[in-house]
Amino acid sequence: MNRRRTLGRAAMFLAAASAVEAQSTESWSPKKASVGGPIRSGHLLFLSGIGGWYPERRPKPGDVKEQTGDALEMMKAALEKAGTSMANVLKVQVALVDPEHNWAPMNEVYNTFFKEPRPARSYFGATGFRNAGQLLQIDCIAYID
């Protein structure tokens, strides 16, 4: 099914959804007290912001390419654990520090995770995150059966 049609159906499911199921926090990583894990509503899975760098996972922040790859690997693992995949991602939002400098390398890595047709994407510039050295945060909405 193509993404545009899937997105249209997903929007209808969202409008009609009355129950929200949250995945337990014990099965969710990275460990962030403010994140309760993916939220499912009907056939949509909302995956909250995944940072590009967590000091407990890697001692040094690395560059934006490394952080993008790490964040998208965590996203992929979380989606698969929930029962869906990167191929079912409908929308991605990226918060990026210094987009003028970091957009091209972030986009290069991003494109290796999402094949054509890629999901809808938006981004915005950020001045920083909770962890000094973190360059991006990514969240998504995915379709799930």
Q: For the residues 35-61, what does the mean pLDDT come to?
A: 89
The whole model's pTM is what? 0.76
In what helix (H) or strand (E) does residue 114 lie, and over which residues does it extend? none
User: What pLDDT does residue 70 have?
Assistant: 95
* Residue 10 or 98, more confident: 98
Domains and CATH numbers, the chain: 3-143 (3.30.1330.40)
32 pLDDT tier (thresholds 50, 70, 90): very low
User: What pLDDT does residue 119 have?
Assistant: 98
Per 3-state DSSP, what percentage of the chain is helix, strand, and coil (rounded to 5)?
35, 25, 35
Place of tokens 């995770």: 113
Per-residue pLDDT tens for 98-117?
A: 999 999 999 999 999 999 99
- Our measurement of the distance from residue 73's CA atom to the centroid of its chain's CA atoms, rounded to an integer in Å, reads 10
Per-residue pLDDT tens for 52-93?
A: 998 888 889 999 999 999 999 999 999 999 999 999 999 999
User: What pLDDT does residue 55 have?
Assistant: 85
* Residue 29 or 82, more confident: 82
Three-state SS for 10-68 is: HHHHHHHCCCEEECCHHHCCCCCCCCCCCEEECCEEEEEEEECCCCCCCCCCCCHHHHH
Q: For the residues 5-29, what does the mean pLDDT come to?
A: 48
